[in-house]
Amino acid sequence: MSASTSPSAAPHVYRLRTGYGDTDQSGVIHHAVYMRYLEDARADYLRQRGLDFAALEHGQRIGMAVARATMRFLRPARFDDLLDIEVRVETQRATMLFDYRVLCGDVLLLEAQLTLACIDLEKMRAIRLPPEVALACRP
């Protein structure tokens, strides 16, 4: 098994409908809400691949911490929009690199990249990704 994987060829797609409580006073989805959308898409991606991060956290005391986040806002989403969040993942020794595209129909609204570091929850230090995580994220 390789120490890293290249990004998955076809993206995982997570679909959600925006809620009224996600909007700001101008009627668009508040910028901070997108982090929650990306978190939900990431959790769905991992769940679909059979990964149980609750078991890793509670059993092996392994966590995933956001080490870096970049977002490029291109167009606003609004209340009741149906969004597709495309997720691609690349694993490295101790990190997972997530690439996201958020679309409303054919319109690209947001591009984002998040780097998650695998950490030992007792020592709060970076550790190697468990083999089952790297394997599950292979294309």
CA–CA separation, 60 vs 13, rounded Å? 29
Separation CA 59–CA 133 (nearest Å): 15
With the C-alpha atoms ordered 53, 116, 15, 24, is the resulting torsion angle positive or negative? positive
> How many structural domains does the chain have?
1
Q: Report the catalytic residues.
A: 24
What pTM was estimated for this model as a whole? 0.89
64 belongs to a structural domain: yes
User: Going residue by residue through the chain (139 aa), what tens digit of pLDDT does each one get?
Assistant: 344 555 557 899 999 999 999 999 999 999 999 999 999 999 999 999 999 888 888 878 889 999 999 999 999 999 999 999 999 999 999 999 999 999 999 999 999 999 999 999 999 999 999 999 999 998 8
Q: Where are the beta strands (DSSP E) in 4-136?
A: 12-17, 62-73, 82-91, 95-104, 107-120, 125-126
- What residue numbers bound the domain in which 62 lies? 12-136
Inside any domain, residue 29: yes
Residue 58 resides in a domain = yes
**Do 70 and 112 form a contact (C-beta atoms < 8 A)?**
yes
- Whether residue 126 is contained in a domain is answered as yes
| Cβ 115 vs Cβ 95: under 8 Å | yes
CATH code: domain of residue 87: 3.10.129.10
Place of tokens 């969004």: 83
Radius of gyration from C-alpha coordinates of the chain: 16
